[in-house]
A = this chain, B = another copy of it.
């Protein structure tokens, strides 16, 4: 069963806190990078969060930032970059031997935007093979026998261990929110298309979304501001919360409720009760007929788009794809164009209907994962609770608000209307303030 948290500390200082420290002259980029390097030295041999890491290159970027003009709200902040995102100065191997040492000539748009705002790229984080299901080497920092989740495994583990205060991920099913949840940190998947996707290795074009993992919501708020070009305030979560009114919350069990382990159902029900006690209007959302079919139709879209996007690798490098991915591509190739068209039609309809979920609610409260990170490293866990919202193109956040068996984190998921990302983040700040933040002990 999931327990409320005894105290509400953040696991590690996040990007926003560090940006305030840099802006206040209390630390510089080199000192920040050295802190990251210390954590890296102490933990990376166990955790395997990084696909590429060069301390000298990180320090050189920090030095240049310290000696140059103030570049923006992320000035001096180290970020981790999932290794399916292109970087002009580091390899992008995508978790596959096919692209070992591959050097693209340009940065992905999200990486370039972060750098333009002053961030430095600390390194490339481990991704499951091509952001899919075949795990990389990363383990769960809170129990090394457990999966960190995937496919943004390295980004979640690196943030959870304080090796980096902010990291990019990508989500096609549940690849940002699930690892964030399993590792006890905060995950954000924006509305589809909100964060520019140029330079991201495509998995399923109609679902792929760039997202982020960070210690706290204020870090997510900061990065979202940089990604969409709105003013970044660096405001602390605790200060913002005072200005917010309690939201109208729709408790959304979905058709998958029976998949939820006791710690997940307990977390949702405890959150619901306490948020209501704190002044939120909480009511059960009636799950619209038809939405249950998302779980049926989604694989037609994801596996077929995957198979087509990887035609070149399939034709020229098949033997170097994992057996799991080979099977996935075979499934995708077996989806008929008729079934795919039917899946797309269904999906477009549900995306239109999803707007009605927010007629009476500001935010939906829903399970994030089936339960705590499972034992074993051969699977990255069940994506079904996350992938519903990815398919609907809605913004979603995971907050590690509870503690489950083995003292592992349990997250809730908050979902907002399409395009309502800023508001969702604000509501989540209020929710997080009420429920607290899981911390490893």
Among A74-82, A103-111, A162-170, A277-285, which stretch is in contact with chain B? A103-111
What residues on B are CB-neighbors of A38 within 8 Å? Answer: none
A202/B197 in contact, CB under 8 A = yes
User: Given the complex of chains A and B, what is the CA–CA distance between A310 and B341 in angstroms?
Assistant: 32
B229/A88 in contact, CB under 8 A = no
What residues on B are CB-neighbors of A305 within 8 Å? Answer: 196
B309/A198 in contact, CB under 8 A = yes
- Copy tally for this chain in the complex stands at 2
Given contacts A111-B312, A198-B202, A348-B418, 4 further A-B contacts (CB under 8 A): A113-B308, A197-B205, A229-B308, A341-B419
A419/B107 in contact, CB under 8 A = no
Interface size on A, residues (CB 8 A): 46
Chief secondary structure at chain A's binding surface: helix
- Please encode chain A, from 80 to 116, with 1 for each CB lying within 8 Å of some chain B CB and 0 for all others: 0000000010000000000100101111110111011
- Please encode chain A, from 215 to 231, with 1 for each CB lying within 8 Å of some chain B CB and 0 for all others: 00000000000001110
A313/B106 in contact, CB under 8 A = yes
User: Given the complex of chains A and B, what is the CA–CA distance between A230 and B337 in angstroms?
Assistant: 6
B105/A102 in contact, CB under 8 A = yes
What residues on B are CB-neighbors of A108 within 8 Å? Answer: 312
What residues on B are CB-neighbors of A336 within 8 Å? Answer: 229-230
User: A441 at the A/B interface (Cβ < 8 Å)?
Assistant: no
User: A288 at the A/B interface (Cβ < 8 Å)?
Assistant: no
- Please encode chain A, from 191 to 204, with 1 for each CB lying within 8 Å of some chain B CB and 0 for all others: 00100111100100
Which residues between 106 and 134 of chain A lie within 8 Å of chain B, taking CB atoms?
106-109, 111-113, 115-116
What residues on B are CB-neighbors of A9 within 8 Å? Answer: none
B88/A312 in contact, CB under 8 A = yes
User: A206 at the A/B interface (Cβ < 8 Å)?
Assistant: yes
A105/B99 in contact, CB under 8 A = yes
A170 CB to closest chain B CB (Å) equals: 14
What residues on B are CB-neighbors of A311 within 8 Å? Answer: 107, 109, 112-113, 116, 196
User: A345 at the A/B interface (Cβ < 8 Å)?
Assistant: yes
Which residues between 319 and 365 of chain A lie within 8 Å of chain B, taking CB atoms?
333, 336-337, 340-341, 344-345, 348, 352
What residues on B are CB-neighbors of A105 within 8 Å? Answer: 99, 102
Closest CB pairs A-B (n = 5): A112-B311, A198-B309, A112-B312, A107-B312, A198-B202
Instruction: State whether A337 and B193 are in contact (beta carbons under 8 Å apart), knowing that A102-B105, A105-B102, A107-B312 are contacts in the complex.
Output: no
